[in-house]
């Protein structure tokens, strides 16, 4: 089949399969691959009533980046396609590669713009798929990692699609030359400081000398892994439901320990993936299995890695974002008239209420403090109340305590000292906490 017709028909059928009423966002760097993708969608728009938008992310990593924005905008103007660009600043976490940080930042921008059921389309091809699979092998990835990139998947409020995965880089270049397309050459693509570039320039040419169809073979293996992963996913979903903890999105340690070691590892990874968390390295998984699952019931172990904290309380295993900084020793003076912003807690506000809350005539000299230990509310230790209320141990020193003239008067949404409570249908003041986003 003619290459031009084959590529056209691939995009044409893709749009028919996934809906011509959808908004299609083209991820456009201006490089060879994305120029081909944009050209193909523009061609298909001549026969289908497509809604097309282009999004370009300016990473600011190249001295020519701003000039590239202008070139991309000009190309979209020629094709009469809406063009959106956003400049970002890359923040590197400790031990993170620039490649990965740029990718994460880029996809974060994509997620900002797409609306319900929109499809963002990237120009990844068969060589990219093969490189990704080899990278995952070199990282010691499991089945899910080796499944590499799917043709389409859920992403943010819509979908992320890669309709060109069956075509090689050489085929896309031939198409670009046949259609006299011009493209941006990013000089960073020549730098072997980036792992993917090293594989592309040194390793794959060597492999292709011995196995000319290596990219196709790797892509086929990735597909087999994806199919196996999908089948396992159905099975694991049922297993996760059977070992759920006492609270939403938790696992029961007791039920987890009834599984074999291999099953424990797989279920933990699947559970984390289900909630959108990154997976632990092998050494971290070892700590989870040995230190967390076998800790005494009175212990509160925690294992952390970038972006994730795994905690245990009694029989429940919790996965959560890292807690933000919080000074539990601070004492905040509050006049109640304006909301009080507290780092690591949220926004504390006072509002009028009828028939409950604190008596406003008695609420004088208000301070907001946090648990230090030994506080008493009524006839019981505050610690006992916290246990009865089910407040998790690592959150207890983040619960604001309302003091009036140095005496504990209220715990927002939980408890009010009888001395300060309104009687009958009198007007009162209640306290609410709005969590930080």
Architecture, CATH, for domain 244-320: Up-down Bundle (1.20)
What is the rounded CA–CA span in Å between residue 74 and residue 378? 71
What is the rounded CA–CA span in Å between residue 167 and residue 130? 12
The H or E element containing residue 408 is strand 407-411
What ranges do the domains of the chain cover?
3-210, 244-320, 332-435
Architecture, CATH, for domain 3-210: 3-Layer(aba) Sandwich (3.40)
Average pLDDT over the chain reads 89
> What does the pLDDT read at residue 378?
67
pTM: 0.67
Q: Which residues in the chain show pLDDT less than 70?
A: 1, 94-95, 378, 436-437
> Token pair for residue 192?
């072997």
Residue 79 C-alpha from the chain's centroid: 33
> What does the pLDDT read at residue 300?
84
What is the rounded CA–CA span in Å between residue 335 and residue 340? 9
Coil vs helix vs strand at 393: helix
- Decide if 85 contacts 30 (C-beta within 8 A): no
């Amino acid at each position: 089949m003619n290459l031009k017709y084959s590529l056209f028909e691939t995009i044409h059928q893709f749009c028919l399969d996934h809906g011509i009423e959808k908004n299609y966002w083209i991820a456009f760097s201006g490089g060879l691959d994305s120029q081909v993708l944009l050209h193909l969608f523009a061609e298909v728009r001549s026969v289908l009533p497509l809604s097309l938008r282009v999004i370009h992310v300016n990473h600011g990593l190249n001295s020519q980046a701003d000039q590239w924005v202008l070139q991309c905008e000009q190309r979209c103007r020629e094709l009469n396609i809406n063009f959106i660009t956003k400049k970002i600043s890359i923040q590197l976490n400790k031990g993170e590669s620039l490649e990965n940080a740029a990718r994460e930042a880029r996809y974060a921008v994509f997620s900002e713009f797409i609306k319900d059921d929109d499809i963002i389309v990237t120009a990844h091809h068969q060589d990219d798929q093969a490189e990704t699979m080899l990278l995952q092998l070199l990282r010691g990835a499991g089945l899910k990692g080796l499944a590499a990139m799917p043709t389409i998947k859920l992403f943010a409020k819509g979908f992320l699609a890669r309709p060109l995965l069956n075509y090689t880089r050489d085929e896309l270049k031939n198409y670009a030359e046949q259609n006299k397309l011009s493209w941006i050459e990013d000089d960073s693509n020549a730098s072997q400081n980036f792992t993917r570039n090293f594989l592309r320039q040194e390793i794959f040419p060597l492999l292709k000398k011995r196995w000319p169809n290596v990219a196709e073979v790797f892509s086929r293996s990735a597909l087999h892994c994806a199919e196996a992963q999908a089948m396992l996913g159905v099975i694991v979903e049922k297993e996760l439901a059977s070992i759920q903890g006492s609270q939403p999105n938790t696992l029961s340690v007791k039920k987890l320990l009834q599984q074999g070691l291999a099953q424990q590892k797989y279920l933990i990874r699947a559970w984390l993936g289900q909630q959108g968390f990154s997976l632990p390295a092998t050494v971290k998984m070892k700590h989870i299995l040995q230190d967390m699952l076998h800790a005494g019931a009175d212990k509160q172990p925690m294992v952390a890695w970038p972006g994730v904290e795994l905690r245990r309380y009694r029989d429940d295993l919790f996965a959560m974002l890292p807690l933000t900084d919080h000074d539990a020793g601070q004492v905040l003076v509050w006049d109640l008239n304006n909301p009080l912003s507290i780092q690591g807690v949220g926004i504390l506000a006072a509002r009028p209420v009828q028939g409950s809350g604190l008596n406003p005539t008695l609420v004088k000299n208000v301070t907001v403090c946090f648990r230090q230990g030994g506080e008493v509310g009524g006839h019981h230790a505050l610690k006992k109340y916290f246990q009865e209320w089910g407040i998790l141990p690592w959150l207890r020193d983040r619960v604001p305590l309302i003091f009036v003239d140095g005496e504990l008067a209220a715990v927002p949404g939980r408890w009010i000292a009888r001395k300060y409570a309104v009687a009958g249908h009198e007007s009162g003041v209640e306290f609410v906490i709005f969590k930080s986003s």
